[in-house]
Amino acid sequence: MDPLSEHERRGAAFRDLDAWLALTPDPDRAAPGRLELVRQFINSADLESDTEELGDLAALRSWLRRRGLIGPRERLEEGDLERALAVREALRRLLADRSAGAAIDTGALGSLNSRPAAAHLRVSFDATGAPALEPAAGGLDRAFAVLLAAIERAAAEGSWERLKVCSDHECLWAFYDHSKNRSRSWCNMAVCGNRAKARGYRRRQRASSSPSRP
């Protein structure tokens, strides 16, 4: 494939990608730019309702394709589903540990850092001279490269630290913290926030009603 058509092909896929983001409902809740793709990727499993959007390789492919994360003719390979799920859960774990102020789980770091996705990024310059990190591979590595480049960019712009997962351990839904003081802990105050409050209340009740030890 000659470089020009390769470039055009990637340009077409990126148009799909940004078109998807423009369609994303509820921009007030979405993370800025392509970081929203990372949020959606983490939320492709809803732990609370036990719903999995990436149930098999075909489901993963159509999920990535809908968002322009892989090209129309790109294929996935055996083992890609396991890789995708491992990276997704490592991202969820990283955000959970970070929100809790804990050291990031070494297994999660291993999953993220051992993936060759980072090696499939290259810097390219557009017509105005602005540099951008772009995927240099196809298939799942291309999708990983877009997601990782979005994270790197978000970190530089200060939005990565606002991407969080719900503090409720059964929920762990990814959300973007739009609050002024960046203090939001739950995906939904009415559900997870109140549940945490109720648990805290019951704990305090038990503590005050249990007889004190001599």
Binding residues for Zn ion (CB under 5 A): 166, 168, 171, 173, 187, 192
Least distance to Zn ion, CB of residue 73, Å? 38
Least distance to Zn ion, CB of residue 193, Å? 8
Least distance to Zn ion, CB of residue 166, Å? 3
d(CA 209, CA 52): 42
Name the residue type at position 115: R
d(CA 144, CA 117): 6
Q: Rank residues 24 and 188 by Cβ distance to Zn ion and give the closer one.
A: 188
Least distance to Zn ion, CB of residue 81, Å? 26
- Taking alpha carbons only, the member of 112, 131, 123, 142 closest to residue 42 is 112
Secondary structure string (H, E, C) spanning 53-99: CCCCHHHHHHHHHHCCCCCCCCCCCCCHHHHHHHHHHHHHHHHHHHH
d(CA 157, CA 104): 22
State residue 98 phi and psi, 5-degree precision.
-65, -45
Q: Rank residues 57 and 191 by Cβ distance to Zn ion and give the closer one.
A: 191
Q: DSSP per residue over 159-180, as a string?
A: -GGGEEE-SSTTT--EEE--ST
Q: Rank residues 146 and 187 by Cβ distance to Zn ion and give the closer one.
A: 187
Q: Rank residues 79 and 200 by Cβ distance to Zn ion and give the closer one.
A: 200
Least distance to Zn ion, CB of residue 163, Å? 14
Q: Rank residues 121 and 166 by Cβ distance to Zn ion and give the closer one.
A: 166
